[in-house]
Amino acid sequence: MLNPRDGGVFAIFARIVYMVPAAVVYLVVNIARRVHRWYITGPAQSWPAAEATVNSSYQLDENQTSFSINAWDPDDNGDKYHARWAVALEYTYHAESEIYSGVYFLPRTYTEGDQASDAAQAWIRRTIVVRYNPSHPQRSLFLVGDGAPGKPHIPWLLSYRPYLTDLSLK
């Protein structure tokens, strides 16, 4: 239903004009992220393994983007917010006589914040096995074959390499 208070026909037209190119860009970026994950996971199978400790976690509400179901509510019902929580696990590992940090996103998303927090807490202080790139030891992956609960979730809000890090703690 058109609502003149929201700009009426012009507002709907502006949303459509914005949405079409943005949807194409989003689709291309999403495909590139998945291809990159597939491309990097194959060689990572043969990378050296290192024990890592999950130190902390954080949750991202992915439905705060313009493509979420919350952004295009035609009835403007602000009371019906639909969260989509992605859970990131932060871990540290030793490689090449240095300490590095990495991030792994649990494969599942959650609609309730307490469910996401519980899922994250189940991993805190656990020891996991990660693979690191011997040429670039700051890059690591937590693979299904090494105990990961699934392929890492690719968040809508991050760059196309959310599970690779370049942080060194000397």
Least reliable range by pLDDT among 72-86, 99-113, 153-167? 153-167
Q: Which range has the top average pLDDT, 69-78, 129-138, 154-163?
A: 129-138
3-state secondary structure of 123: coil
The answer on pLDDT for 165 being more than 70 is no
Of all residues in the chain, the percent with pLDDT exceeding 70 is 75
Q: Is the pTM of this model over 0.75?
A: no
The answer on pLDDT for 124 being more than 80 is yes
Domain that holds residue 25: 4-169
Task: Provide the β-strand partners of residue 61.
Answer: 85
Number of independent structural domains in the chain: 1
Q: How far apart are CA 42 and CA 100, in angstroms?
A: 22
Q: Which of 36, 47, 18 is nearest to 160 (CA)?
A: 36
